[in-house]
């Protein structure tokens, strides 16, 4: 895609303006390094398109592609030029919170993306003990309604199959309710009072969930109509 213009906006858009490219940059800047991790955060992208976009980003110097030692696959790391896009990505997210969230539809509430974001939001040092198990039951999906987050030390894993461990905190809600809480549209307290969230577990963890599972960095931004 070429615009035939010397304008730096046009030249930048030639590199990062294709469908999926900015979202791939988002995933790289949020710590995704392996192909399957990136694909998990972009559930509708095809492997072919993801591979093509990563190769393009590498060609333009935004991604460093490294062989995984002893394995067949590769890892992908953001270069300095890619990291320089962070304030632009954040600015785009802030604009989206103010001006685009009114266009959300039911199909936008992706449970896999939600769980990936919740995993990334865990602050392990604020948890209690060597291991913490959190179970989510989503009331609005039939296929794989139960998900687990297992935090051991600094590592947090997402499980769709029962890990067979004692659960410390239970969340029961719809995917939309959990996403709306994480995005700051409703608080845990209000969701519980409204009956849209059931939260069970040790009070040390349930009385202030955001102390160990932070909300989105955009959570405090009101819609444009509320400004």
User: What residues does each domain of the chain span?
Assistant: 8-84, 106-211
Planar angle of CA 51, 90, 152, nearest 5 degrees:
70
Residue 46 has a pLDDT of: 96
Instruction: Supply the CATH classification number for the domain 8-84.
Output: 1.10.10.10
Residue 211 has a pLDDT of: 96
Q: Which fold has domain 106-211?
A: Nonspecific Lipid-transfer Protein; Chain A (3.30.1050)
Q: CB of 27 within 8 A of CB of 37?
A: yes
Residue 103 has a pLDDT of: 87
Residue 227 has a pLDDT of: 52
Could you tell me the pTM of the whole model? 0.87
Residue 54 has a pLDDT of: 97
State how beta strands 74-78 and 155-159 pair: unpaired
Q: CB of 168 within 8 A of CB of 132?
A: yes
Residue 182 has a pLDDT of: 96
Q: CB of 109 within 8 A of CB of 183?
A: no
What does the pLDDT look like over 16-49, one tens digit per residue? 999 999 999 999 999 999 999 999 999 899 999 9
Q: CB of 140 within 8 A of CB of 149?
A: no
Residue 55 has a pLDDT of: 96
pLDDT < 50 stretches in the chain: none
Torsion of CA 196, 202, 205, 207, to 10 degrees: 60
């Amino acid at each position: 895609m070429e615009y035939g213009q010397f304008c730096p906006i046009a030249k930048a858009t030639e590199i990062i303006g294709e469908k999926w490219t900015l979202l791939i940059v988002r995933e790289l800047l949020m710590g995704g390094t392996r192909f399957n991790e990136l694909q998990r955060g972009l559930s509708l992208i095809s492997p072919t398109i993801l591979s093509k976009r990563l190769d393009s980003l590498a060609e333009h110097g935004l991604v460093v592609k490294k062989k995984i030692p002893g394995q067949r696959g590769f890892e992908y790391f953001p270069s300095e030029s890619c990291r320089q896009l962070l304030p632009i990505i954040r600015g785009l997210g802030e604009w989206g919170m103010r001006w685009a969230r009114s266009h959300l539809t039911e199909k936008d509430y992706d449970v896999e993306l939600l769980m990936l974001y919740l995993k990334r939001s865990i602050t392990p040092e604020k948890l209690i003990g060597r291991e913490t198990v959190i179970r989510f039951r989503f009331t609005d999906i039939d296929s794989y309604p139960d998900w687990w987050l297992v935090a051991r030390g600094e590592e947090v894993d997402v499980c769709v199959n029962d890990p067979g461990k004692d659960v410390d905190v239970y969340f029961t809600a719809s995917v939309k309710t959990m996403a709306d809480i994480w995005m700051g549209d409703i608080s845990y307290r209000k969701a519980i009072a409204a009956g849209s969230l059931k939260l069970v577990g040790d009070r040390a963890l349930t009385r202030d969930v955001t102390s160990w599972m932070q909300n989105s960095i955009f959570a405090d931004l009101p819609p444009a109509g509320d400004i």
